[in-house]
Amino acid sequence: MSPPNYYDSYPPLFRPNTTALNGPDPNNLHTPDPEPNPDPLPVIDLECLTRDNERPKLAQACQDWGIFRLVNHGVPATLLAQLHGHAKRIFSLGFESKQAQTCAPVAYFWGTPALTPAGRVIEREKGPTCPPTNVKWFEGFNVLMNKLSDLHVEDPLLDSFRLLLDEYGRHQTRLATTIFEAMAKELSLSQEQSECYLCPSSGLMRVYRYLRWPEADQGSWGIDAHTDSSVLSILNHPEVGGFQVQKDDEWLDVEPIPSTLVVILGDMMQAISSDKYKSAKHRVKANKHVERISIGYFVFPDKDGVIRSPKYKPFTYADFRAQIQQDLKTIGYKVGGLHHFKLHQPT
């Protein structure tokens, strides 16, 4: 399967006009690297996480930030490089070829995953050269990890990518389980709660390509500010920046640092901790010069496990997801679903 003309790889909706897109192949486009900012994130060393003096550091990061950088995580650098390289090659395939790869447990999406499931056509709002205002400039693959080993494809590139994702997913399960166990100890969760609140079989992977947007400016977003619905999300973005996190009402750049991962706490972790830990709000800036590839792993509670907290009504992740879907249908975006389950606190 040979790559087509480069911009044939973009969903048609994201080819606004040939004039704007004429120019260098973004894979070969080099722009001066800006002076890197000091890394703002707290750093957690996975190898030290079993020690008593590292867990309080983890708890502090969860309370103050809801996000941290993970080092000494044990994921081979060769695997990270191969995964990133394969993602680049697959995204460079023609749009129709990528659409054809949608076969459970892999789904191709573009624009906004929650609003544009694979195969759904988005109506244009501003004529043939402009995408709808609620559509963001990215595409990706959503992969259900517990079904991935059952998938068999004939194309060698796709099959090798499947094998890499499967191997990477096993590492992500290990990391999420280790991190959550340390959190559970700090929160004094029971064994029953721990098993209910983190379900490794729920893990899914999203492989994103944030497209080059010729008209991007400082107020343009590859993806809007949001929190994740997960217990934990683990992000691998090794090359191109643009990822930002909100801290004390200020947006901070989280630069890519090779051989590190970024762990993000989601809404479920905030509820599990009775708001002791925070769900980190984050976003991605659009870029007119280069594309950005990132790989995110998301893990959730058992779908029928009840989350019990003095701050929230008892609810399951299935309840939470249903509420999020209702918000998406009625107002078009996620509005922070936890508030629907919050108990009124006496003043």
| Cβ neighbour number for residue 207 with a 10 Å cutoff | 24
* Angle made by CA atoms 162, 297, 340, in degrees to the nearest 5: 135
Domains observed in the chain: 6-308 (2.60.120.330)
Distance CA 110, CA 116 (A): 7
Q: Is the pLDDT confidence value at 49 over 90?
A: no
What digits encode the pLDDT tens for the residues 286-305? 888 889 999 999 999 998 89
pTM of the model: 0.88
pLDDT class of 344 with cuts at 50, 70, 90: confident
Which amino acid belongs to residue 85? G
Q: Which two tokens stand for residue 257?
A: 């640092």
Question: Average pLDDT in the 243-254 region?
Answer: 94
Q: Which helix (H) or strand (E) holds 59?
A: helix 55-64
What digits encode the pLDDT tens for the residues 85-109? 999 999 999 998 888 877 778 888 8
Asked whether the beta carbons of 61 and 157 are under 8 A apart, the reply is no
Task: Give the list of residues 6+ apart from residue 331 with CB closer than 8 angstroms, or none.
Answer: none
Which one is predicted more confidently, 329 or 311?
Answer: 311
pLDDT class of 218 with cuts at 50, 70, 90: low
Distance CA 227, CA 249 (A): 14
> In Å, how far from its chain's centre is CA 141?
11
pLDDT class of 155 with cuts at 50, 70, 90: confident
Which one is predicted more confidently, 35 or 189?
Answer: 189
Question: Average pLDDT in the 198-202 region?
Answer: 95
State the chain's mean pLDDT as an integer.
84
What digits encode the pLDDT tens for the residues 123-146? 333 444 455 555 678 899 999 999
Task: Give the list of residues 6+ apart from residue 200 with CB closer than 8 angstroms, or none.
Answer: 173, 176, 177, 299
Q: Where are the beta strands (DSSP E) in the chain?
A: 43-45, 67-71, 106-110, 138-144, 199-210, 221-226, 232-236, 243-247, 250-253, 261-265, 282-285, 292-300, 306-309, 312-316
Nearest residue to 337 via CA among 271, 282, 243? 271
Q: What are phi and psi of 158, to 5 degrees?
A: -70, -35
